[in-house]
Structures are given as C-alpha cells and as structure tokens.
Structure 1
Amino acid sequence: MDGNKIVLFIKSIFTALGTVWSFIVGTMGWAFPTLLVMMAADFITGMMAGSKNEGLSSSRGREGFKKKVYILILIGAVYLLERSIFGTQHLGDGVTIAYIIIEFISLAENGGKLGVNIGPVKNIIAVLKEKGDGK
C-alpha cells in the first residue's frame, strides 16, 4: 500500500468516525458520547493497570466489556422509552451522567493502581462517592 492510499484510508476512517460522532451528539446530546469516551478510557487504563499489577486476564476483560455493552443497551432503552412516552431526554441524560461518574471513578482508581499521583482528583472522588452513598 503506497503513502497516498494510507492517507486516504486514514481520512476515510476519521470521516466515518466524525459522522457517527456528529449523529450521536445531534440526537442524544453530549452525555452519551461522553460516556462512550469514558468507557473506552476506563477499559484501556484497566488493561494497563491489570498488566502492571495482577496480570492481564482475557476473561476479566471480556466480562468488563460485556458489562459496558449492557450498560449502553440499557441507556439506549431508557432514551427510547423516554422519547416515545414523554418526548424528552432528561431521564436518559440523568442515567447516562450517573454512569459517567462511575466510569470516572474507575478511571481514577486505575490511575492509582498505575502509581499515578491523582492529587486533587481524590477529593472529587470522595465527594462523588459520598453523594452516591446518599449522604
């Protein structure tokens, strides 16, 4: 494959990704694509932490991936039900934001497992966990 074909291939990939991203943001707002990015970041950093500490486990990775796919299906169903019944997206965004927070906490914990100084993020996590416990 020559250089021009590689550049064309890369441009095509990014064009397709940009189109999908634009569609998602246009129909669902920023919460859902933000969750997708957080899930991807959590999955990648989880693999990094696993390779450093416990060793990578394909079965643990598969289970984590299946859970993330289920969450996406669940959120999609919430959005669809809410749109068809109420004509809004507030409930779907609320559920999505709750999962964004969960993913953010997991992402920060992965950083801690990697030995990264997460500094002030610890305070944010403490507040989020406290709110999540109903305090």
Structure 2
Amino acid sequence: MENKIALITGILGAIVSYMFDLVGVAVSILILFMLADYTTGLIAAGINKELNSRVGWTGFVRKVYILVLIGMIYALEFTASQYVDFDIFGGYIGDGAAFAYIAIEFISIAENGVKMGAPMPPFVKNLLKIVKEKTGVNEEGDSI
C-alpha cells in the first residue's frame, strides 16, 4: 500500500512540477520532511526509552542515500535531455521521485506521532491503519 501511495504521489508530483515549472523545489520540501521525520523519530524513541545510536545512524544513512539516489535521477535526466528532445527530461522525473519519498516521510512522521501518543486526526489514523493492513506491519513496526 505504501508503494502505491508513493507511486501515485510521485506521478502527481511530476505532473505538478511540469505544470508549474517548479523543478527542484520538491527536494527542498523532501529535506524538510526528512528533518521532521528524523527529529520526531528521536523524540518518539526518547519518550519510549528506545534511543539507540545504531538505529539513529542507520536512519540518517538511509536518508542520505535517498538524497543521493534522487540526485542521480536528476543527473540521468539531464544527460538524457542532452541526447533526446523530449520535454519530459527537465527534472520532472526527479521531482516525481522526491514527491514519492515525501509521501513516505509523511507516513513515518504520523507513525512517530502515534508512538509519542500525540493526538492524530481521524483521516491520518485511517490512512495509517490501511497502510499497516496492506503492508502487514503492526503498531510497533514489526512484521506480522
């Protein structure tokens, strides 16, 4: 389910980027969401007395990898645009990938809020419930 949400968000993000010529803005937004996710993850782990430097470091490295991956998508698009005269290769695919990861980060931020015991709007609770049911993950993040 999370992959479907990311795919749909990525496609819509690429379309919005193309329509409004906002190439690169998605990465700035993604970095903001990543910082929020990392921070709320640390807070949730602190509240639940589950702070672990190895888990924190692994999470940080994964976020850096995602940024490198999206950077490579932009680089491939740039290279393709030099050889193919399609308007699709203008950074829009990279923005689509960034928007897909923004959706994933939002889900993670909401999950961190649940772990902290923060109040959550019903539509977010329902979204998290659907994602967990479809992915087979329970409230603690363990596979069922």
1:113 and 2:115 equivalent? yes
Q: 1:126 to 1:30 in 2, by over 3 A?
A: farther
What runs of 5+ residues in structure 2 fail to find an aligned partner? 1-20, 82-88, 136-144
Q: 1:53 to 1:108 in 2, by over 3 A?
A: same
1:100 partner letter: I
Counterpart residue number, 1:75: 70
How far 1:125 moved relative to its partner? 4.4
Secondary structure at the counterpart of residue 117 of structure 2 = coil
What runs of 5+ residues in structure 1 fail to find an aligned partner? 1-25
CA RMSD of aligned residues (A): 2.3
How far 1:55 moved relative to its partner? 2.2
Larger proportion of helix: 1
Counterpart residue number, 2:32: 37
Question: Aligned partners of 2:129 and 2:117: how far apart in 1?
Answer: 18
How far 1:126 moved relative to its partner? 5.6
1:95 partner letter: A
Counterpart residue number, 1:64: 59
Q: Which has the higher contact order (CA 8 A, sep 6+)?
A: 2
How far 1:117 moved relative to its partner? 1.2
1:103 partner letter: E
* Correspondences of 1:48-59 after superposition (within 5 Å): 48-59=43-54
How far 1:72 moved relative to its partner? 0.4
Q: How many residues align?
A: 106
- TM-score of the aligned structures, taking structure 2 as reference length: 0.65
Give deviations 1:25-72, integer Å, cap 9, x for gaps: x98432100000000000000000001114211110000000000000
2:114 partner letter: G
- Higher-Rg structure is 1
2:40 partner letter: T
